[in-house]
Each structure stands twice: as C-alpha cells, then as structure tokens.
Structure 1
Amino acid sequence: MKIKVARYTTEPEVTETVLEYEAEMKDATLLEMLNEIKTKQDPSVTYASGCRSSVCGSCSVRVNGREVLACAYKAQNGDLVEPMKNSPVIRDLVVDMDRAYAFNAKAKAWQKSPASSVSLTQENEKVNEIQSDCILCGSCYSACPVYAVNEEFLGPFSLTRVWRYVSDAREKDPSDKIDSIQTNGIWDCTLCNECTLVCPQSISSKSDIEKLRSKSAMNGYSDPNFANMFGGGFGGTMFDGSPSF
C-alpha cells in the first residue's frame, strides 16, 4: 500500500514537500501505517497521537481533503495525508491549536462558577449530552470555510461549546455568553454543515448555531445581515420591536 504524506517545516523558512511511502500492510488504520513508516522507514515523519481509541482527538489530520482521526481511518492505497487547516503548522502533520482554543475564551465557553445548585434531571442531561462528547480534535475548526474570509470568526469549535453551557440548567444567566457571540459569531456562519459532516462524535455544530440564533432573538438580537439588506433600517444588531425606518 502506498500513501502520500505532506511534509512541512518552518525553519529556516516554510517549506512543503509531498513524499510517497509504501508499506506491506492490510486493513491497517492510518495511524498504524504512520507508525510503521516512522519506525522502519523515516523517523523524521512527525505527527501526533495519543489514546489510539478515538477519544483524545490528538491524531486528527486530513486525508484526501477531509478531516479524520488517524486512529480510526482505514488507510487506502494512494491516500494523501495533510495537516489540519486554519491552524499554523508546527511540523509535518502537527499543527498549533492555540488559536482555536483561544476562541473558547472569547466566546466565554465555560461554566460560570459557582454554578446554580440545580438538581439535574435525565431530561436536563439529554439537552446537551452529545455536545459534552466533544473530544477537542478540531475537525470542525479545520473544515470551516468561513476562516478564508474572516480569521476572527469564533467558529463551530467554540460556538457548539457555548450552546453546551447556555443550555445547561445550572447556568443562571447565560446573557453574557449570548452577548459575546454576536460579533464574528453566529451570524457569520454560512450554515454549510461542513463541520457536522467531519465530526467524529456526530455533533451538529450547525444545529447548535441555529439554536443560539433563536436564543439570541429571544434576547433582543437580530441578524445584522438581514438589517443591512434594508440599508440598516433596523438600526444595527439590536431590535426592540419598534419601527426605526
């Protein structure tokens, strides 16, 4: 079996090459094949891995232009393996995810402390159960096309976490989170659904963003793009119900 691996270095300058490797393996995961290449052919090949059980998310890469977990994806002859998009490459298939994680802080994607002492029911838990399964692989962040035109977009990676906490019954006042996602946030999403298609946990960030839009409308916000269609007649992002034109 032959696969191609994109090789990136950043020192002394950014360089990119694509090397082809061959290994006598059948029904092997991509991670198993990369391990075989690194231990027996080219020790300089650099990639990340951890649990090997699709739990830690550290082995996420792109194969033939689509985000996958290397430990779960079955390698195919001729595959092209590349690093994740929208993040600086450190070396080869390893990227720096600090910027993606920083958007969580901008979006206030955390549980307030102290949380309300509400006793959660099974129904409460089911509301955001799947969002809690996020493994931080960054596949949705890599797949999002909005970053090509807006590098400050909070993105599906952070916005789905915002919904995780906004929908939590223990969150007394989620209004500050709703406030934080109006600029470069929910209204900038194109709802293309690329994030959902690549999520290994089947989390629909598109659906979460739609729910955040509904929650924002309940808090008095409206889509600024809609307002701009009418020459700003609705007076910005806030709409108080009174005519402004």
Structure 2
Amino acid sequence: MRVDIKRGDEFVSYDVEQSDITLLEILSHIKTKQDSTLAFSSGCRSSVCGSCAMRVNGKEVLACAYKLQDGDLIEPLRNAPVLRDLVVDMDKAYAFNKVARAWGIPTSDNLHVSVKDAELNELQSDCILCGSCYSACPVYAVNGEFIGPFALTRSWKYAADVRQKDISATIAAVQTNGIYDCTLCNECVLVCPQGIAPKQDIVMLRNKSGMMGYMDPNFASSFGGGLSF
C-alpha cells in the first residue's frame, strides 16, 4: 500500500505492508521504521484530544480514526502556518476564542440547570478544538480575521446557557468578522468529528443578534448604509 504525504512543497511517497490500519498507526510506523524525520501531532489516540487532525484527499479527518486506503494523499490542515510536514501552528485560530468572548460567567444566584436547559448547549460542549472546521472554512481565503466556526460555536454555547444573565458583550463581540461573514456553506458541518453543526450555531447567533437590535451589515449597505421607516 502506498501513501503520499505532503512535506514542504512536494508529496513524498511511502510504501507500507500493513492494511486495515489507521492513518495514525501508519504514520507512527513510517516514523519508527522508515523515516524518523517525519513530523506529525498525536495525543490520546481515541478521537478525544483532536491533535491529530489533518487532511486526506482534500477532507479533514482525525488520523487516529481514519482507516488508510491505498494511494491516499495526506496533507496538513489549511488556513494555519505549517511548522513542519503535518504539524501546523494553531495559536491564531485558538486566539479567536478570546475575540469571540467564548466563555461564561455564571451568577451565584442562578446555578441550577434543568435537563432541558442543559440540552440547549450539550452538543457544543463536545468540541475538541481539533481545527477541522477551521481548515475546511473557505472564508479565510478572503478574510484572515474571520472569527471562525469553532469559536462561534463556543460563543453560542455560552449565549444559550440559561445561567448567563447578560450576554450582550458576547453578542457584540461576534458582529465584526463574525456571524455575518460566514457564507453558511456547510463545509464545517461535514468535517466535524463530533457531529457539531457550527453553521446552525451561527444561524442561532444571527437570530439572537437580530432580537438584540443588530443587523446584517451587508443587508443594510444594500439600502445605502441604513434603513428608515
């Protein structure tokens, strides 16, 4: 079985005898048996830490969960600087959590959460920050400051939390380079290993923004910069 791995500006081919094996196991085999200079990231090996996210044949996957096929093309995640081989620098991507104010401050007088209320943001809590949605997002081709799918999902997680008395700062934070810059293309949904739908979370943030008096700037500009009734 042959696997082609992008290293720098070119693909390097490796022949391996193993079959019915995960991509991470193959990468480990190559590094220990064939080429000790190969660089990649891994951690839990159980699809929990998200550190082994990369692209296979143009789609984001977790290497510890993907079963390798003959002739697969392996690349690092997109939209992030490549440090070496399949290792990328996610510092800027993770910093968007701060831009989006993706945290909560529960009030001491409202700590009880019913089962129904907990279900409002239960799925968003499963995000492992693997960066797959960030890599798949086409918006970064035109706007490198886009807050991005996983940060906006985390914003909605806290905006939907009934323990939050005031979410105005969170909603205000996602207006610029945020919810209205998303094209709702669904690429982030297709690659999330946790089954999270960032697109839906962004739609919910748009709905909440509208309720709080915000408007899509693209819509407003089509009326000469503002609306009057």
User: TM-score w.r.t. structure 2 length?
Assistant: 0.97
Q: Tell whether the 8 Å contact from 1:87 to 1:142 is kept in structure 2 after alignment.
A: yes
Gaps of 5+ in 2: none
Q: 1:100 Cα shift?
A: 0.6
Match of 1:11 in 2: none
Q: Structure 2 CA distance, aligned partners of 1:179 and 1:64?
A: 38
CA contact (8 A) 1:100 1:157 kept: no
Deviations 1:78-128 (A, max 9, x none): 101000001111100000100011111011001126565330010011111
Which of the residues 184, 188, 194 maps onto 1:191? 184
Counterpart of 2:101 in structure 1 is: 108
SS of equivalent residue, structure 1 residue 220: coil
Contact 1:46 1:94 in 2 (8 A): yes
- Aligned equivalents of 2:146 and 2:224: distance in 1? 24
Offset, 1:26: 1.1
CA RMSD of aligned residues (A): 1.1
Aligned to 1:126: 119
Q: Tell me if 1:151 matches 2:144.
A: yes
Measured in 2, the distance between the counterparts of 1:115 and 1:81 equals: 49
- Post-superposition Cα deviations, 1:8-59, rounded to whole Å, max 9, x if no partner, equal 3xxxxxxx22100011011000001111111100000000001100000000
- Report what 2:77 is aligned to: 84
Contact 1:160 1:205 in 2 (8 A): yes
Distance 1:121 1:210, change over 3 A: same
Alignment gaps of 5+ in structure 1:
9-15, 235-241
SS at structure 1 position matched to 2:202? helix
Code of the aligned partner of 1:176 = A
CA distance in 2, matches of 1:21, 1:65: 19
Identity %: 62
- Secondary structure of 2:61's aligned partner: strand
Taking a change above 3 Å as real, the CA distance of residues 227 and 216 of structure 1, as seen in their structure-2 partners, is same
* Alignment partner, residue 39 of structure 2: 46
The Cα of 1:157 is off from its aligned counterpart by 1.5
> Following the alignment from structure 1 to structure 2, what is the Cα–Cα distance between the partners of residues 226 and 44?
51
Counterpart Cα distance in 2 of 1:77 and 1:97: 29
Q: Which of 213, 223, 227 is equivalent to 2:206?
A: 213
Give the total of aligned pairs.
229
How far apart are the structure 1 equivalents of 2:108 and 2:223?
Answer: 42
1:3 maps to 2:18: no
Partner of 1:32: 25
Extract structure 1 runs of 4+ deviating beyond 4 A: 113-116
Q: String of CA shifts for 1:113-169, please: whole Å, max 9, x gaps.
A: 656533001001111111000011010000000000001110112100000000011
Shift in Å, 1:71: 0.2
Aligned residue for 1:127, secondary structure, equals: coil
Matched to 1:97, the amino acid is M
Structure 2: distance between partners of 1:72 and 1:186: 31
